[in-house]
């Protein structure tokens, strides 16, 4: 994690005074358990270059947290990137510059625009390049985005998913830092802390003088405040944005299974808020209904695997289906499995329960012989969290090694994102690695079915929109019976 700040021209030496860091002394301190260093590479009256660097311990990031013992810490390949974490680490060191209150002798330089170059990264963003560029070019910067070219000995992908960003423009030190402190978390769309009303004060403070007229203000506000209630409060204080609260919820919180949803399937307004807050039934609820209807109608459904079961909501529903004898609720997250165990324990005292789900630690990345030869395997909102290049291998394992009689797969319909007025190329959730159109999914299903000796049918789930279809796609694979097997 780093930020490079370079200024050229007469008076550039004043930058070190605005930062309140002596160029002759290396700033090297621990902030929140992370080593933060500020080093001046060049220091003259006409040119100054400073490196701001944060070096966290990845083990300390999860030690003592609820996710500390999850195996997902080892299989999640998301790069460690410049995000809200980085901003929180370096903020104490840059407080003087952010507040614009240097020593009295240098107050005159606070409003002075320097010829400045800023570079930072790596940044992982779900925003397309054109949107990233517009975020900064609208502020007067010339923007350069750099992606690393990757070289593999096998067919993978040609470009890294991360970007490094370089900006050049005439800007004050205070405005440059305030813009970055607000926009870096917007790029990453990730906050590592609880988002409260303090975030409204921060967006007003750091956005003063530039955010009001920014053409992407709605996007910035939405991704900073995230929750409909906070967006509403901000609108009341600042004047209404053109985006409605309901639309903000659709754009920002479009659902994923088991992300902060209630037992009834209506979600609580955090990172997985219900897709359409005006609708009485969430899309997540509709997915569960569709899956349970398919399973109920199957002639054989004794043994079921709910792969990526999360907190066990779907598995708990399957427990009431007549003809079911065993349910393996497979999930890599320890925290989610604990919640699933609590949910399953409540089933013991309820009438109508046919089979008690069994929580199992596991992942599609690892072979598990107990998954073999089951009647039904379910991947509900799972495959889009896997890198696309890995899917062929995983589907080969499922169809040719596990060999379930029926495989049910749900995944988002990318075309329907247009109905949510989402930015082009953006995803419904920060952890999605891809989202496919109906044609793209059908093409992949053709390949998998042929290689695995399955037939398949694709159905839509959710409200239908002309030209765009339905928000979720459900694929029903059935293994061909040969020679009575």
- Which tens digits make up the pLDDT trace of 211-234? 999 999 988 998 888 887 888 888
Query: Do 291 and 158 fall into the same domain?
Result: no
Considering only 15-19, 64-68, 126-130, 364-368, which range has the smallest mean pLDDT? 64-68
Total domains present in the chain: 2
CATH number at residue 404: 3.40.50.150
Higher pLDDT, 37 or 195: 37
**Domain stops at, among 193, 208, 237:** 193
Does some domain include residue 56? yes
Does some domain include residue 210? no
Global pTM reads 0.55
Query: Do 147 and 293 fall into the same domain?
Result: no
Query: Do 151 and 299 fall into the same domain?
Result: no
State how far the Cα of 132 lies from the Cα of 188, in Å rounded to an integer.
11
CATH number at residue 188: 3.30.1610.20
Does some domain include residue 206? no
Query: Do 158 and 294 fall into the same domain?
Result: no
Does some domain include residue 162? yes
Which domain range does residue 423 map to? 283-479
Query: Do 315 and 462 fall into the same domain?
Result: yes
Query: Do 317 and 460 fall into the same domain?
Result: yes
Does some domain include residue 463? yes
Give mean pLDDT, residues 460-468.
Answer: 94
Percentage with pLDDT > 70 across the chain: 81
Does some domain include residue 263? no
Does some domain include residue 233? no
**Domain stops at, among 163, 193, 223:** 193
pLDDT digit string (tens) for 149-202?
Answer: 655 554 544 555 578 999 999 999 999 999 999 999 898 876 666 778 888 888
Query: Do 164 and 306 fall into the same domain?
Result: no
Query: Do 288 and 187 fall into the same domain?
Result: no
**Domain stops at, among 178, 193, 208:** 193
Does some domain include residue 226? no
């Amino acid at each position: 994690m780093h930020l490079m700040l370079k200024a050229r021209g007469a008076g550039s030496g004043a930058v070190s005074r605005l930062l309140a860091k002596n160029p002759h002394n290396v700033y090297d301190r621990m902030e929140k358990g992370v080593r933060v260093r500020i080093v001046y590479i060049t220091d003259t009256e006409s040119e100054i270059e400073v490196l701001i660097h944060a070096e966290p311990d990845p083990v300390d990031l999860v030690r003592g947290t609820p996710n500390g013992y999850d195996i997902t810490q080892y299989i999640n390949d998301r790069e460690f990137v410049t995000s809200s974490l980085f901003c929180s680490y370096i903020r104490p060191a840059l407080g003087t510059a952010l507040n614009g209150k240097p020593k009295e002798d240098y107050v005159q330089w606070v409003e002075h625009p320097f010829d400045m170059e800023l570079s930072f990264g790596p940044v992982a963003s779900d925003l397309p390049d054109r949107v990233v560029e517009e975020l900064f070019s609208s502020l007067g910067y010339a923007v350069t985005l750099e992606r690393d070219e990757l070289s593999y000995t096998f067919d993978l992908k040609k470009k890294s998913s991360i970007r490094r960003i370089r900006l050049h423009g005439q800007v004050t030190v205070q405005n440059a830092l305030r813009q970055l402190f607000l926009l870096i978390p917007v790029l990453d769309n990730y906050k590592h802390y609880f988002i409260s009303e303090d975030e409204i004060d921060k967006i007003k403070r750091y956005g003063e003088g530039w955010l009001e007229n920014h053409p992407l203000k709605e996007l910035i506000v939405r991704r900073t405040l995230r929750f409909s209630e906070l967006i509403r409060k901000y609108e009341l204080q600042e004047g209404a944005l053109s985006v409605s609260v309901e639309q903000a919820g659709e754009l920002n919180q479009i659902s994923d299974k088991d992300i902060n949803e209630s037992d009834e399937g209506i979600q609580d307004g955090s990172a997985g808020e219900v897709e359409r807050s005006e609708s009485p039934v969430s899309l997540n609820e509709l997915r569960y209904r569709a899956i349970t209807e398919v399973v109920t109608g199957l002639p054989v459904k004794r043994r079921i695997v709910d792969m990526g079961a999360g907190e066990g909501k779907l598995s708990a529903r399957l427990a009431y289906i007549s003809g079911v004898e065993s349910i393996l609720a497979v999930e890599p997250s320890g925290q989610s499995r604990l919640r699933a165990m609590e949910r399953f324990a409540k089933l013991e005292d309820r009438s109508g329960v046919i089979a008690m789900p069994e929580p199992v630690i596991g992942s599609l990345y690892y072979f598990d012989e107990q998954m073999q030869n089951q009647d039904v395997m379910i991947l509900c909102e799972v495959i889009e969290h896997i890198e696309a290049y890995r899917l062929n291998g995983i589907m080969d394992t499922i169809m040719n090694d596990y060999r379930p009689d029926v495989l049910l797969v749900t995944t988002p319909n990318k075309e329907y994102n247009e109905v949510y007025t989402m930015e082009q190329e953006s995803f419904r959730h920060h952890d999605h690695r891809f989202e496919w159109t109906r044609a793209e999914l059908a093409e992949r299903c053709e390949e998998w079915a042929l290689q695995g000796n399955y037939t398949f049918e694709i159905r839509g789930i959710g409200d239908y929109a002309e030209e765009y279809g339905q928000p979720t796609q459900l694929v029903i694979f059935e293994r061909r019976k040969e020679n009575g097997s």
